[in-house]
Chain A
Amino acid sequence: MSDLLTNVTLICLILLGACMLLLLYRVIIGPSNPDRAVALDTIGVIIIAMSGLLAILTETTYFNDIILLVGILTFIGTVALAKFLEKGVIIERDRN
């Protein structure tokens, strides 16, 4: 692997880490819960990106599972949160 690629990957990772810190600011400060939910969703995306970069850096394919899984989970998590914030429950019971 060329030095250039390594350096670029590292710089990307650092930038992503800085992004995560900024997103944390949004998660903590809010001000509203939907703000936090979106920020958390974005953290999930950052994890996807980081995993991909790490896979390049360590020259492995084992992290690809994680990329797929985080994709699904952040989606499910965000949908669940959105539903909770909207209706107050996640699983509605059909009482009829």
Chain B
Amino acid sequence: MLHLVIFIPFLFALIIPLLRTKLSNIHLGWFVLAVPVLLFTYFISFLEKMIQGEKIHSTLNWIPSLDINFVFVIDGLSMLFSLLITGIGSLVVLYSIFYLNKKENLGHFYFYLLLFMGAMLGVVLSDNIFVLYMFWEFTSISSFLLIGFWFHREKSRYGALKSMLITVFGGLALFASFLLMSITTGSTSIREIILNSEAIINSNYFVLILILFLLGAFTKSAQFPFHTWLPDAMEAPTPVSAYLHSATMVKAGIYLVARFFLVFQGEQLFAIIVSVFGIVTLAWGSFMAVRQTDLKGILAFSTISQLGMIMAMLGFGAGYENKVAIVAAVFHIFNHATFKGSLFMVAGIIDHETGTRDIRRLGGLYTFMPITATLAFFGTFSMAGFPLPVFNGFLSKEMFFKAAILDNVLDISILIPILAVIGSIFTFVYSMILFFKPFTGKENMLDRQPHEAPIGLLVSPAILVSFIIIIGLLPNIISEPILAPAVSAINGEIPLINIHFWHGFTNIPIWMSFTVVVIGTLLFRYRDKWTPFYNVFPGRWSAANVYDYLVNNTFTFAKSVTSFFMTGSIRNYLSIILGFLIGTLAVTIYITDGFAVSYDDLAPITWPVAFTGITMVFASIATIFMKNRIAAILVLGVVGYGLSILFVFFKAPDLALTQLIIETVTVALFLLCFYHLPDLTKTKESLSRKTLNIVISLSAGFIVTIIAIASHSFKKFDAISEYFIETSVSLGGGHNIVNVILVDMRGLDTLFEITVLGIAALAIISMIKLRKKEEVDS
């Protein structure tokens, strides 16, 4: 049953083209809406079992020989994420029905969206790491498709490519980490890996496993410095931004860290890396968010910063026995999904109704869009963590501050609450900008008269906002069914969760919150005075610039490397080939000590042979210096004739015959070509080039000579020629042993040599005959 549930989105995606053509007068979204709603009710029905601490297993074999199977398990953590995916998925689909015009390519949109939904469910429910990885890459691909939905826009394509490069880079790192994990523990199941976590922690690869794993999680969850893809992913349609880039996909990295929390729990390194990167992401993301002028840009950096906050809380929970941190993390995962989802939808409404998302052009929308403004009010103030009991964001932020105060861990750990407060101050500032800039002040510079959005667009954010308020007022209603099972799934303990709004004045976190509000208000009030600071820092050192620099320079670097050796000159390639040959052979001879000289078994040298040999040597040397083509070929002819007489000396009449014929035919062929060739011109080459050529040719000759001497001196076995001599007549029926070998004993070689000659002949004919018409005419 659980399998069917995960594959429903994929199956439904397949029938989308059918629906689109058959029922084109109804908005496609209405059909798609059924899928997440159905799944959501299905997951809700498990809540009862979750409270009792049960888990639901389901297995479907896929590649049993490799231990890769579809094993799906629902526990508290998976449950939380499944509810978010399907619940917010339903709201986003509902929202998209009113947001996207029927003229858009809806078939593609919902196809990608369902693909993503199924993949995301697969990620959070898979127990098999490789199946998890498969779904993980599926989310990257479907996110790529969704970001590039308006593919005719340059920026969409840029954003899609960027997110693809970064998340797939992390995905591959994750895959490597998974491989190492499964090798060290001998298992592909997350549960079993957790049971065998000792094996991972004690293995030599522990640091590598951890870093690769975190690379995967950090790239997906847009942690510093990999966050740079998320702001560019805002080119996607707003429902996609609300769904993928605030509530679900970017939390996949968080999910992963939480899922493997039990493996790395006690490790200082894990705790330090996760908390430091999380807290830096929190501070940097909120700092950068203030700089943005685009509503979705602010929300993107805000998402980055909130994800950093969740990541940091997981880090606090890992190394420091900090129980509240995990609860706070889970609580904030839930809260962030509610307020960020609603804020994205509000941004989409503003865009939809005014035609711009630039906050410099927006203002005074409160009078025109009171409902939207109210929704935005709850979203932004909850995000800012404003201390009122109706905002759920405040509750989790308070818990975050409490978790951030790490007692006596390290001297430097005092920086962590400071960074947390700084991050929260900027969070407060951009939240205020997000609300006050578009909705208050004077209206200006709009092309059309803004008006309230249709009811359909408002339903989804309204539902999310009602969650903000309900959880803000009564936080404990989700603590038993959702938070407690999730926390126990993360760190294996069943916590006692009781979330209060008010902790009294003796509590440090409340003073941190007050500090945030006071300084935040001041900074917001006088923001014109200090925002020019952004030109100094980060200036051009923002991560986006670094990414562009890297990508562009990779291209130029690769190009320069390629053009360095791919010169198009055969002369250079030959130098490289010969140089490599000489190098490898020389090194091999040196390493294996393979050179040997043996004077046994040498034939006596007679004067006629010596004369012929000397003649050939002089002729070959002279060939190089010939200034005329015909002279060169004639001198070369001496070498050929010399070779044939050497064959005669060494009693190989058949070879001598063939050599003579070939030599003559070659000379004739050369003469045929020479008619068409220009006179031999002296190639002008630099001295260094000439020296290089001489060195290469001399060493090539030297190496080959060395090898010939060594191989002659090193005879381990008797030759098999005795067999041929004995059996040539009896088996082959011929006295000419060479010919018997050629046509009888090793006849197959001869067959293919004949084929080679045939192909060469055909190729020559086609080269001469089949020319383009222009060439023939000219």
Contacts and interface: CB of A to CB of B under 8 A. Distances in A.
Given A20-B615, A36-B631, A66 B657 contact: yes
B608 A14 contact: yes
Interface in A9-30: 10, 13-14, 16-18, 20-21, 24, 27-28, 30
A63 B631 CA distance: 30
A63 B630 contact: no
Contacts of B668: 76-77, 80, 90
B554 to A, nearest CB: 56
A33 B634 contact: yes
A92 to B, nearest CB: 11
A14 B611 contact: yes
Interface in B279-303: none
A30 B671 contact: no
B614 interface: yes
Contacts of B667: 77, 80-81
In this complex, which of B615, B619, B656, B675 has the most chain A Cβ atoms within 10 angstroms of its Cβ? B615
B653 interface: yes
B472 interface: no
A14 B622 contact: no
A56 interface: no
B638 A27 contact: yes
Contact of A91 (B619, B628, B672): B672
Category for how many chain B residues contact A: 35 or more
Contacts of B645: 47, 50-51
Category for how many chain A residues contact B: 35 or more
A24 B638 contact: yes
B610 interface: yes
Contacts of B664: 73, 76-77
A23 B631 CA distance: 14
Nearest to A76: B664
A36 B641 CA distance: 14
A84 B240 CA distance: 79
Given A40-B638, A47-B645, A77-B667, A20 B611 contact: yes
Contacts of A13: 606-608
B637 interface: yes
A43 B651 contact: no
A69 interface: yes
Contacts of B610: 17
Interface in B627-654: 628, 630-631, 634-635, 637-638, 641-642, 644-645, 648-649, 651, 653
A7 interface: no
B607 to A, nearest CB: 4
Nearest to A58: B651
B648 A50 contact: yes
A40 B637 contact: yes
B660 interface: yes
B661 A81 contact: no
Contacts of B205: none
Contacts of A81: 630, 634, 667, 671
Contacts of B187: none
A16 B619 CA distance: 17
Nearest to B634: A36
Interface in A63-96: 63, 65-66, 69-70, 73, 76-77, 80-81, 84-85, 88-91
B608 A24 contact: no
B608 A65 contact: no
B4 to A, nearest CB: 80
Nearest to A55: B648
Dominant secondary structure of chain B at its interface with chain A: helix
A17 B615 CA distance: 8
B614 A36 contact: no
Contact of B614 (A21, A27, A62): A21
Contact of A54 (B631, B637, B644, B649): B649
Nearest to B611: A17
Contacts of B185: none
Contact of A50 (B608, B619, B637, B638): B608
Given A44-B641, A47-B644, A89 B634 contact: no
Contacts of A84: 630, 671, 674-675
A43 B611 contact: no
Contact of B648 (A66, A85, A91): A66
A28 B618 contact: yes
Contacts of A66: 644, 648, 653, 656-657, 660
Contacts of B619: 24, 27-28
B612 interface: yes
Contacts of B674: 84
A43 to B, nearest CB: 5
A17 B607 contact: yes
B641 A43 contact: yes
Contacts of B630: 33, 36, 81, 84-85
Given A24-B619, A40-B634, A16 B608 contact: yes
B653 A63 contact: yes
A70 B610 CA distance: 22
Contacts of B651: 58
B185 to A, nearest CB: 75
Nearest to A50: B645
Contacts of B644: 47, 66, 70
B631 A65 contact: no
A89 to B, nearest CB: 5
A84 B675 CA distance: 9
A70 B637 CA distance: 13
B615 A21 contact: yes
A76 B657 CA distance: 15
B80 to A, nearest CB: 88
In this complex, which of B607, B661, B674 has the most chain A Cβ atoms within 10 angstroms of its Cβ? B607
Contacts of A62: 653
Contact of B675 (A24, A37, A65, A88): A88
Nearest to B625: A28
A33 B631 contact: yes
B483 to A, nearest CB: 96
A21 B672 contact: no
A15 to B, nearest CB: 9
B611 A21 contact: yes
B660 A73 contact: yes
A33 to B, nearest CB: 5
Interface in B578-637: 606-608, 610-612, 614-615, 618-619, 622, 628, 630-631, 634-635, 637
19 contacts: A24-B618, A28-B618, A33-B628, A33-B630, A33-B631, A40-B637, A40-B641, A44-B641, A47-B645, A66-B644, A69-B657, A77-B664, A77-B667, A80-B668, A80-B671, A81-B667, A85-B630, A88-B675, A89-B675
Given A17-B607, A17-B611, A27-B622, 6 more contacts: A20-B612, A24-B638, A27-B634, A28-B618, A80-B668, A84-B671
- Top 4 nearest A-B pairs (CB, nearest first) are A17-B611, A13-B608, A28-B622, A36-B634
